Structure 1
């Protein structure tokens, strides 16, 4: 087999493994894909071959899973479209480097099943941390739409990753003839499906629960700030807030929903409060503080009074801010969502906001919902999660659905319900097990009144975070290395 065919095969296997991601949800293909990766890995000799395999598979996986990354560059195509292919190839190839490093580590530790799982597990952990992190499209995300999601309350996203890789290794062993051991491992993973549901308390909304109105204006990003369209989208949100015979307990608008700065918004906020008929309103708005500009969430009470403000602290590199932005601005290069120089400034960090009878909420703005560590950093346990976002940047094919899936994962990890409101969708109410109880579909303007589900007792993952899984990876690598050295001594 010539090298062009080998390269194509490796890229194709990575792409097959990505088909478990939203919106496709073909999780069995993810297991088959990683079973093939493990089979290829067993045939590699030396660290270079392992590195090239991991990089190639990862690149193929992320080319498909992250193809939505071209969408932001099409909002202002005249300025940015030329960057789109470079962004996709660069992001996919860069993310693939982590998998290459993971398989190098696995090969150094002996190359067995335990090393394979631990090597890729550590690679994904690093991908979620280094250079501010980007833990999007992890292999374990393929299980979010299955009953295995219940185990996120115990082991988080890393636990789902181990289930995927462990089942894939077992599948390869069954196909390779080791039917007894492989079948036993597969049976153990399958048994976790009903067991997780049995161990998880009921989290459905209860009678008398507070009612939250989700407001989705559906403002396409290329029209959102056009002078002749801004008022239309604002009036649409006000009309949705005022609709219905009975006002809700809380009204939530999406990220950057208000077209004026917070410090100049007093008449605007009064009009919003009037439309809400006494209900509290949470909305996305920009604010300035001297030369700094913040992407913020504000809590508005009767008469337009602002009783709480949260500033987004985990910003999108090259989107909301540019590293060395003032220097790059001299060459006309800005972040896609920034107007000049360094772009947005980061807020001080995670905090809770008091929403009266509804309890305390942990606010999240867009990208922050991707990072479990940002939620774990909260200065206390809230009653619910509150995420506002503008997924219009992500297009209409896969990006918004993957973002929604990760929101469901965060709820399941922490045992907390989530109010999720998106500009173009998908807006949703999510219960504490990660189940969507109500939604407004992608690409539709509208509103929905949804009862707020209850929280569950604090989960194991909420208490311990990623520490148990990182310890497991270390133990697997140590075990694999020990067995490899013991085998070499016997020879």
Structure 2
């Protein structure tokens, strides 16, 4: 291994670029749908060895000395994000005519921007680089910190944070409730970088021992957490939920001639009788924008919903909501969840607050529209963001935390005004991503939100993957990607929330502080040894 490490350290030019890109791309195999997390024991040691050899000339100034490390981290990040997000290009080919020119921006441009965060992490780590365990701690702290920054910088896009690679199954998801996604990202980098110490024989025993201890604690806590959940007192189901997955293609969805057929299909799927001997559902959930028209344009639609619903049943559906502008302002549109009772009355709603840039709204709209740019969802001229996030109250005393589409990738959005609620409600339309890894990655991130909040997840996706999980992230029922149908499931009870969002934030800060201090101490010791 020493020979391999030395060869990687001394690589230069195109060979070094290729190694960094390939190491980042290989790491994607740790994510859904592959879940082969062992590859990180290759990817991150390679990155460490590359950074070992990424020092600039001593007389080049601070920026010049850090530039090789930044470039190395950027190429690693580019490989990771191109291999992990290439499927975003599918959204430009699925029902979004006229956007083919933007394919390079989706497949390479966005990954190139996201790779800047990994470049910055590598440069930050190299700033306090040392021998042995200290450099592993520096890299872990820098990655954890930059993954956190990625969650809010430029509106935020924490998709495929490194920590998800350490959570391939529910057993290994549970510790996220203590340290949060970004704390787990830092610990993930530390653990999977540890084999680099074997290749350089500095701090290998201490580093590998600590990595194995962290892995054991990660799995052990998961086992204990699920054991506790399984031993909660049995309770009658709070609701029987039916998930409707219509699998409607985007070309049909936005075709005005297809709207009546789509709506009738949604009603007929919802009205299917339950399995023999099973109770009828109390709550029926449709995906994001499942109603193919504005209710204000089709007032009879609510009456048809009332005719479909039996007494005591409730429909929860995604739809577009229109709002008249004031003072001559144009009409505004919102991506909304409606709650509709058995009399066809809208008794609750929640608007999407965190919109997809360039998908649902156009940043710097005044300037960019002059350049001819539009949003992908341009049918209604783009969406407006809801001004607040509130608990969605459902009949039966249930409170649902609304997560519309990609809101589910933001850990902080699982907290809303009005209390903790009884479930997370995620409605989405992942048909934009086709039969690619995208829907699998999206589902995994929603599962992790369920574990963090200790709430069951109810997820309705147009083309899949629809699922219901318990508060441990375990899937109780689901429909595969691309398959149309329905399923009914008893809504599991919420688990006990042991760690709040604030506590996870404090624990994340503590992890970063410990690793940063370890790196600084190792750096200081190295300098004193050279004096």
Given the two structures, how large is their TM-score scaled by the length of structure 1? 0.95
Give the equivalent residue in structure 1 for 2:223. 197
- Quick one: structure 1 residues 459 and 221, their matched pair in 2 at CA, closer, same or farther if it must change by over 3 Å? farther
Give the equivalent residue in structure 2 for 1:352. 391
Of residues 185, 193, 196 in structure 2, which corresponds to 1:172?
A: 196
Of residues 317, 328, 333 in structure 2, which corresponds to 1:293?
A: 333
Measured after TM superposition, the shift of residue 339 of structure 1 is 3.0
Deviates more, 1:403-412 or 1:267-276: 267-276
Measured after TM superposition, the shift of residue 113 of structure 1 is 1.7
Structure 2 Cα separation of the partners of residues 248 and 204 of structure 1: 26
- Quick one: structure 1 residues 35 and 376, their matched pair in 2 at CA, closer, same or farther if it must change by over 3 Å? farther
Structure 1 Cα separation of the partners of residues 369 and 379 of structure 2: 10
Q: Say if 1:171 and 1:186, in contact at 8 Å, map to a contact too.
A: no
After TM superposition, the structure 1 = structure 2 runs for residues 175-254 of structure 1, keeping only pairs within 5 Å, are: 175-177=199-201, 179-192=204-217, 193-200=219-226, 201-202=228-229, 208-209=236-237, 210-245=239-274, 246-254=279-287
Give the equivalent residue in structure 2 for 1:411. 450
- Quick one: structure 1 residues 2 and 485, their matched pair in 2 at CA, closer, same or farther if it must change by over 3 Å? closer
Give the equivalent residue in structure 2 for 1:101. 120
- The answer as to 2:181 corresponding to 1:142 is no
Q: Say if 1:255 and 1:422, in contact at 8 Å, map to a contact too.
A: yes
Give the equivalent residue in structure 2 for 1:123. 146
Q: Say if 1:152 and 1:461, in contact at 8 Å, map to a contact too.
A: no
Partner SS state of residue 250, structure 2: coil
Of residues 336, 342, 363 in structure 2, which corresponds to 1:323?
A: 363
After TM superposition, the structure 1 = structure 2 runs for residues 19-34 of structure 1, keeping only pairs within 5 Å, are: 19-34=29-44
- The answer as to 2:83 corresponding to 1:64 is yes
Measured after TM superposition, the shift of residue 122 of structure 1 is 0.8
Structure 2 gaps of 5+ residues are: 1-10, 56-64, 325-330
- Quick one: structure 1 residues 461 and 43, their matched pair in 2 at CA, closer, same or farther if it must change by over 3 Å? farther
- Quick one: structure 1 residues 418 and 375, their matched pair in 2 at CA, closer, same or farther if it must change by over 3 Å? same
- Quick one: structure 1 residues 300 and 166, their matched pair in 2 at CA, closer, same or farther if it must change by over 3 Å? same
Structure 2 Cα separation of the partners of residues 378 and 90 of structure 1: 36
Structure 1 gaps of 5+ residues are: none
Structure 2 Cα separation of the partners of residues 379 and 467 of structure 1: 23
Measured after TM superposition, the shift of residue 466 of structure 1 is 2.4
Measured after TM superposition, the shift of residue 378 of structure 1 is 4.1
Q: Say if 1:203 and 1:455, in contact at 8 Å, map to a contact too.
A: no
Measured after TM superposition, the shift of residue 231 of structure 1 is 2.2
Give the equivalent residue in structure 1 for 2:318. 284
Deviates more, 1:383-392 or 1:166-175: 166-175
- The answer as to 2:436 corresponding to 1:436 is no
How many residues get paired?
A: 490
- The answer as to 2:137 corresponding to 1:132 is no
Deviations 1:49-96 (A, max 9, x none): 110111010000000001111011102465111211222211111111
Q: Say if 2:183 and 2:507, in contact at 8 Å, map to a contact too.
A: no
Measured after TM superposition, the shift of residue 375 of structure 1 is 1.6
Give the equivalent residue in structure 2 for 1:334. 374
Measured after TM superposition, the shift of residue 358 of structure 1 is 5.1
Structure 2 Cα separation of the partners of residues 215 and 360 of structure 1: 20
Structure 2 Cα separation of the partners of residues 328 and 413 of structure 1: 38
- Quick one: structure 1 residues 334 and 76, their matched pair in 2 at CA, closer, same or farther if it must change by over 3 Å? same
Give the equivalent residue in structure 1 for 2:61. none
Structure 1 Cα separation of the partners of residues 290 and 366 of structure 2: 27
Measured after TM superposition, the shift of residue 24 of structure 1 is 1.2
Give the equivalent residue in structure 2 for 1:450. 489
Q: Say if 2:458 and 2:468, in contact at 8 Å, map to a contact too.
A: yes
Given the two structures, how large is their TM-score scaled by the length of structure 2? 0.88
Measured after TM superposition, the shift of residue 247 of structure 1 is 2.6
- The answer as to 2:41 corresponding to 1:16 is no
Structure 2 Cα separation of the partners of residues 119 and 463 of structure 1: 21
RMSD: 2.0
